[in-house]
Structure 1
Amino acid sequence: MNIGRLDHVNLRTNRLDQMVAWYSNVLGLVPGERPDFGFRGAWLYVGSHPMVHLVEVPAECAATDPKIEHFAFTAQGYKGFVARLRDNNVAFDAVKIPGLSIVQVNVADVDGNHIHVDFNAGEADLKDEM
C-alpha cells in the first residue's frame, strides 16, 4: 500500500455557517455537494475534491471534544494568500522551515483549529511580512 495524499479533514463545530464562511473567504475553498447524512454539515472543495468536511454538533459537544493539532495544505501564490489573510483580518505567522525550501503560514479557523499552508520559500520574502 502507498499513501498518496491527504484525502480530507473532518471537523466538528457548533458554528457551521461561520466555519463555511471562514474556509471560503480565507482559504478559498468552495462549498459543494454533500450526501444527506441526516444531520447538518458542509463539504468544502479544492477543485473537484471535498477537502474539508464540517459536521454540526451541539455547543456542549464542540466545547468538550478534542481538536486535532493541525492539518496542512500545500499551495502556490504566497503573496495573494497573505493579502487574503489581511483582507479578512486573520492573524498569521510565516515561518521558514529550517533545512527545507518551505515557508509555512500558520492560521487558526473560527474554532481555533491550527492550519498551516506551505509554500515554496522562493515565493516568500519574509522581511515584508514582519
Structure 2
Amino acid sequence: MQIEKLDHVNLRTAQLDAMIAWYRDILGLRRGERPDFGFGGAWMYAGDTAAVHLVEVDGAPGAGSELSLKLEHFAFTASGVPEAFAARLTETASPFRRSESQETGLIAFNIRDPDGNHIHVDFANAG
C-alpha cells in the first residue's frame, strides 16, 4: 500500500450557506455534485476534486471551536490491494471499519490515529 495524496477534508458546520460562500468566494472552489446522504451539506470542488466536504449540523454559528470537534475526518487516496491493507490493520490489532460504495466507486477504511483523529484510506474499487 502506498499513500498517494490527501483526498478531502470533511468539516461540520452550523452555517452551511456562509461556508459555501466563503469557500467559493475566498478560495475559488465551486459547489458540485454530492451523493444524497440523507443530511444537509455540500461538496466544494477544486478542479475535478471534491476537496472540502461540508456537513450541516445544528447549533450556534461558529460556536464550538474551543469545546467540540470541527474537523470530522481527513482522507487519503491509496493505491495497492485493499485486502493487504486490511490484513496489516488486523495484524497490528488496529480497529477499522471497511465500507464499499457503488455510488462513489470506493472501498473506504475508517481508522483512527493514536490521538483519535478519524482518517479514511480510500481505494478505487476495481471490481
**TM superposition score normalised by structure 2:** 0.50
Higher relative contact order (CA 8 A, sep 6+): 2
Instruction: Report the structure, 1 or 2, having the larger helix content.
Output: 1
TM-score by length of 1: 0.49
